[in-house]
Amino acid sequence: MSNYTGYRGKSLSFLQKHNLQVGDIVRVVTEVDYSGMIMPRYEYSDDLHIVLKLKSGYNVGLEVSKIKKIEIESSSEITKETVHQPRINPNLPKLLLVSTGGTIASKVDYRTGAVAPALTAAELNATVPELTEIANIDTEVLFSEYSENLLPEHWKKIAEKIDSCLKSEYKGIIVAHGTDTMQYTASALSFALVNIPIPVALVGSQRSSDRPSSDAALNLISAAKFLVTCDTTGIYVVMHNTTSDEEVACHWGTRVRKNHTSKRNAFQTVGGSPAFIIKNDKIIKNQQFNYVRKREYVPKINFDTRVALIKYYPGLDPSVINYIIEAGYKAIIFEGTGLGHVGKIMYDNVDKAKKKGLFIGMTSQCIDGMVRMTVYESGRDLLNFGIMPLSNMIPETALVKAMWALGNSDNIQEMETLMKENIALEFSD
């Protein structure tokens, strides 16, 4: 990392003239006095300003031509943090914390300004001492990726790791995961590990774990409490239920969606209430949530990515379906309008895809409600082509289920049978 990251031209000359660099604590006199740390800048920023991080945590840009005086208070130093291993209590149950990356496994480097996946699982455990009062937690870094970089091959690695630990003494497993694609991973694990005999909690954070407003610690603490005290199994997403720290929700893995870019309660259960709420150290079960393991646990950890998710909109070029056919895809999930419709301009290409043997499923781009393709003529036309209505399955869940069903079937007919079956509460009442 350069001592002058993002600085060039006039701002770079200013720093060099005063023997300053990124990470230095300085006092600056302009029309107002400021004290803070010199921060790096984006590479496309202008060359007229320096950036300080104030003690309040906010950044301020100062035009170098208006700086009357600048003096250094302390130089930047990089020190290695000491990570203390948590103590073991033989009377507590055991949990496994698997780190995959994301904001919950990140912290801000206040010398470089970057939010990076720098925390190991052990560091994450050690930074939340309350966890040691709940369970003895083993930690492992499976990989360290922001969740937008995760692929179905990562889902498989997570599922295989969880499956390999089921004969251990773990009461449950926490998966630390980025929030951007957490709903996809939750769905993937729900299908791959259906009827899993222990609970698994995917936990994320909207704000990095060293920020005062971080939700990381409470989400982790709540997940640990949930896993050791609640008599349930399955895959859950455990995140804030409100913008305050009053409630944390445990969402069922196939019914959850990230509905806000930055709020701490970004995740919501679609089509109902969360399976459990953690409030004031109490775990409250949603009485309408009646998940019961129906079969013996037999993992099916395969995914075939030859599935396309198409959001229909006025003006969509129907030839996109021709590309999907020619590219060797085996299935299409439509995110249709209203009750499950696409315009008649798509009909010939939809018919062509079905005749080529592709599976086509229909979900709705509406946030809530059922696909009902018998109500209007356009829906009935699509049913006649062989499109399968997928009730109130969330489009992202339908995509993941189709990848899973295709990966665990010998032919499209077997895939269709799996897509109709309510395997992991992906269809809700």
Residue whose C-alpha is closest to residue 286's, from 244, 249, 311, 314: 249
Is 179 part of the annotated catalytic residue set? yes
Name, in order, each residue with C-beta under 8 angstroms of 251's C-beta and a sequence gap of 6 or more: 186, 236, 237, 238, 239, 267, 268, 269, 274, 275
Candidates 163, 180, 210, 351; catalytic one = 180
Give Cα separations from 173 to 248, 341, 364 (angstroms): 17, 40, 33
The DSSP result for 37-80, as a single string, is EEE---TTS-SSEEEEEETTS-EEEEEGGG--EEEEEE-----P
The span from the CA of 366 to the CA of 217, in Å, is: 33
Cβ atoms of 189 and 174 within 8 Å: the answer is: no
Spatial distance between the Cα atoms of 118 and 140, rounded to a whole number of angstroms? 14
Where is 349: in which H helix or E strand? helix 347-355
Task: Give DSSP secondary structure letters for 253-322.
Answer: TTSEEE--SS-TT-EEETTS--SEEEETTEEEE-TT------S-----------EEEEE--TT--THHHH
Is residue 231 part of the annotated active site? The answer reads no
Minimal CA–CA distance to 340: which of 315, 318, 310, 319?
310
Active site residue 304: no
What is the rounded distance in angstroms from the CA atom of residue 274 to the CA atom of residue 49? 47
Q: Is 6 left (phi over 0), alpha (psi -120 to 50) or beta?
A: left
Residue type, 423: I
Return the H-helix or E-strand segment holding 115.
strand 115-116
The side-by-side arrangement of strands in the sheet containing 276-279 is 136-141, 94-99, 170-176, 199-203, 234-240, 247-252, 276-279, 282-285
Query: Of the residues 112, 127, 179, 232, which is catalytic?
Result: 179
Q: Other C-beta atoms within 10 Å of 192: how many?
A: 26
Strand partners, 363: 335
Helices vs strands, H then E, count in the chain: 10, 21
Among 5, 100, 103, 254, the one annotated catalytic: 103
The answer to whether 132 is a known catalytic residue is no
Q: Which of 258, 304, 363, 397 is catalytic?
A: 258
Residues with catalytic annotation?
103, 179-180, 258
